[in-house]
Structure 1
Amino acid sequence: MVGQRSCVEEKMIKKMDALGNCDELDVKAAVMNRVMAIHDQQKTMGGEMTNLRDERESFSETGDPVMQKQAKILPHPSKFRKRLLSGVSAAVLLGMLGFGALQLSGLGDLTEHGSQSTIDITQPPDGAITLVNSGGKAIVQTVHYNTPIPSTSPAIEKYLSLLATYKEQVLAHLNAGEMAAYYVNDTEFTKLAKGLGYGNQLQFAFSSPVYSNHQDFVKKLKGTGDFWPELPSILANGYEFEYATFKAAPPYWPIDKEYKEMLEQFLKKAKVDKTGQKLFMEKIAVNAIESAEVTYHKGDQTIELSLNQSTYMGGISQVSILEGQTAEKWSMTGTGKEAVFIAASTEKGEQTWSSRNLLYWYDEASQTIRSLNDGLNESLTREQWQVIANSFIR
């Protein structure tokens, strides 16, 4: 059992290395993720703020800053962070499908419950797709958006390098599943952050745990903000849950009282410090999950998915389609539910840097907007996505 777990953790580490957790800083990828985060913030309905997230967890070798570690664990400020979902879509070229409705045959046993369903596919000529609730109210809508190509500069590269270095030092003091808030008292770092318009002085780091048992993982998801409690353990044709991890959502936004109070405490400690300490950290409680990564396998074949959801707060959540892309509405004939599918581009180039497959739908039972994507690896086929849609949208 220990050997099996070690194997799973080793595979997960390799996967994380491939995503950027390596010894060299991938600045271009970090900038891309930063642009995607900025886009999320601008497109989110209701004006809620988005944190600096997904700065690639890759680190350069520098000296360890002096650290001050606090033992205090803060109480849960809220049960679940209510955020609207608004994502940068994948670059899309859907092949020679034409327009109108297409009927696809059933794909066999699609979930652990053995349900079968066909999918009606509609591709509107103008690409506009709207998902509605049972009362006919629009919940999700596709919009065309021309996202600029991310750029870099020596200032951005230096800022990201310093940020990664300090984050690495914080993570070194955390056990799996622990989270910390930290403040960097570094004149160069602060100057770069202000010059680049990065206003978040308080940073957060989370050490992601790895789960090799499906029930343990579901229990954790359900106990932390009710994030995706009905996650399937089996997909089609023998694809079974292998391992999973999750990212914790930052508990505070810069507009929150708790954020300002904690930052003030760090600033006071930095002001009276006479040792030249550059990094101050304090452990805090994890109260909500931002996203989860799940891997299913059948023999040596794998399906890797990123899961996201946000509570519906009213209005319309916009799903962006980049210039030249198209999207489809998928209707599950077995359940009557609908989804938006956006396929990754088959072309390569600067305009497709954010290309990935995405599936969006509204879950009325939990009143959440949900999405799945396969990251930037575009590893899944269209047929596999049909299987996934029938497995997850119930």
Structure 2
Amino acid sequence: MAARGSTVNVGAPARLRGLTSLRFFAACVVVLHHLPLAMPALASVLLVAKAGYVGVTFFFVLSGFVLAYGWTGATSAREFYARRIARVYPVHALTAIAVLLMLLRGGVDWGALPVNLALLQAWSPEPAVYLSFVGAAWSLSCEVFFYACFPLLFGLLARCVHHTRWVIALVTGAAALGASFASFSSSLGEYLYHLPLFRMVDFSVGILLGMAMRRGWRVSVRPIPAAALVVTCYLLVTMAQVLGRANASWSWLFSLSMVLPFGLLIASVAGHEIDGGRSILVSRVPVLLGLWSFALYMVHGVVLAAVEAHVRDLHGAAAVVVGVAIVALAITASWLLYALYERPVESALRRRWIRSSPAEQGAAAQGASSPGAVARDSAGWSVQS
């Protein structure tokens, strides 16, 4: 890594479209990781997706990065929290209700419903609670905690002089702390994976990198080598999990090991775009897919729950063909969810809850470029298996 300059970069594009596109690939890894839950015959075919849950780590780091890079200090706490609620809650509520309706015939764990709807489920050590209804929503529970802490956390981390050194220190400290806790019991190791307080490390790393880039820092690694490093680290994690037959109690460690590679990729792609570089990631189709990624992340569990009874016993080529069709169906459903529900509902809530200042209205009319616009437009679902 190399540093260049120390001033805040105010010439950033209004949308970091490359980061938006990356979200789709992370969401797809999570989808492929979950597909064998509905179609066990695909477990061997999708062995490479066995560690796909680490895609959530990418979203946590990305969330911290875009919020920190776009934070201006002029945003009120009310506006910040209103934007975040409008961003994540409508889709969460809709998908949870959809799964609830499907579960009515077979029985519903009503005790988990209030915790789930309040997005507090990730704090529970019980799988029946933190994976209730839409299992992937546990990451939103973490995100809500991150959002609640962000203004204070940003103020604390802003005092750090050497942001990249603190990144290394945070990950190293989390590894030592996690190993200490996990040594007591395997269930405690499994709990760390979805515990919001522990996953705050991923989010904090993103904040530190976003702050560093605001001050003019750039990573010296180009996007393609950074992506190659991510793929290599991911394959090593997958091999370690498969060959070592690691169970869920090690998920926290495998996820933590991807924080630095993901952070490097995010900083590299963002810096390349900020400095005027071109990439296929900023083209129309990848960006559109990225915009659908939150919907894909949330709706794919609903799709799998709906088709599981009909596809569970498929094997061979039929399982592969149907598996491809299910992924295509989930992507199509994410497009419809984004276009017909997520985007219009979020916009309506923001208009209702947030009153833009004259200066903000003028900037929006002119298409002004500012770091704050990045947080509003590119933070996306910031989330988040």
For Structure 1 versus Structure 2, the TM-score category normalised by the shorter chain is under 0.3
Q: TM-score, normalised by structure 1?
A: 0.28
Considering only CA atoms, is the larger Rg found in Structure 1 or Structure 2? 1
Greater fraction of residues in helix: 2
